[in-house]
Amino acid sequence: MSADVAGVSSSVTAALTVLSGASLAVLTGAGVSTDSGIPDYRGPDSPPRTPMTFQQFLGDEAFRRHYWARNHVGWRHVHRTHPNAGHRALADLEARGVVGGLITQNVDLLHEQAGSRNVIDLHGRYDRVVCLSCRTVVPRAELAARLDELNPGFAEQVGAVADVEIAPDADAVVESTSHFVVAACDRCGGILKPDIVYFGENVPRERVDRAYAMVDAADALLVAGSSLTVMSGLRFVRHAAKTGKPVAIVNRGATRGDPLATVRVDAGTSEVLSRLALDLPAVPPPSR
């Protein structure tokens, strides 16, 4: 056995010791979905990225047009992805009472597809679009049909380009989008935006409060597939550590929350979460 493998095995054993018998809140990031074919923004092997900000989307019509053109192509790929072993392991742990609830920074809905029920989609959902003026929410599939009508053949033509890159927010890299026609809200004519929290935009307070309550209700916090680079996720690790709850982090590469971790497993989430689902005992429901 190599030193790396032995180290991971030892870390997993330590995580099992810390988490055994505890009711868990789980925080997941992009690393959980990499084995489903959705690349991570900040993993060790990820290319450099410059994420779009809310201010760019709102303030620049040309930028917004480029974004929607990319999104229209990427949408066709991301909604065809499927849950992987890590998603299924977390759903199994919830079904057995080990996981009380799950907070995800992802927008891909793969946790729900895998069977997780108590999920807070912290950064929104890729399958919905919201009007920034009248706040009407419509299914993304409905908008896709409208964009197809406005831009016949666009997605098929660009989808054939060899270097199309699918990203976690349903983006795709395309060469030219200047002729793309953007759809406005069909109720008020306002700007449509994916129901996703962009960089520079705040997570709704009610959603954050529910996530804090989920951590408070648990005995320990398990972080899976997040570098915890942004405060959006790190705050829950800090909260758990401040209130004396054990924190277990499973991620490839270092995370910003490592100094607060009770145990740290530097490995892929699919393999580690599958091991946890196999070896963690079921947690009986609280007595009334």
Q: Tokens 């927010």 identify what position?
A: 169
Report the alpha-carbon distance of residue 146 to residue 240 in Å, rounded.
44
CB 105 within 8 A of CB 233: yes
In one-letter notation, the amino acid at residue 118 is N
- Exposure string of 58-81, with b = 16+ CB inside 10 Å and e = fewer, is beeeeebbbbbbbbbbbbbbbeeb
Catalytic residues: 123
Orientation of helix 269-279 relative to helix 85-95, angle to 10°: 30
* Strand positions, DSSP E, the chain: 24-28, 99-104, 119-121, 124-131, 137-139, 192-196, 220-224, 247-250, 263-265
Beta bridge partners of 53: 199
| Helix/strand/coil for 209 | helix
Q: Are strands 119-121 and 192-196 parallel, antiparallel or unpaired?
A: unpaired
For the beta sheet containing 24-28, the strands, ordered from the edge strand earlier in sequence to the opposite edge, are 119-121, 99-104, 24-28, 220-224, 247-250, 263-265
CB 25 within 8 A of CB 217: yes
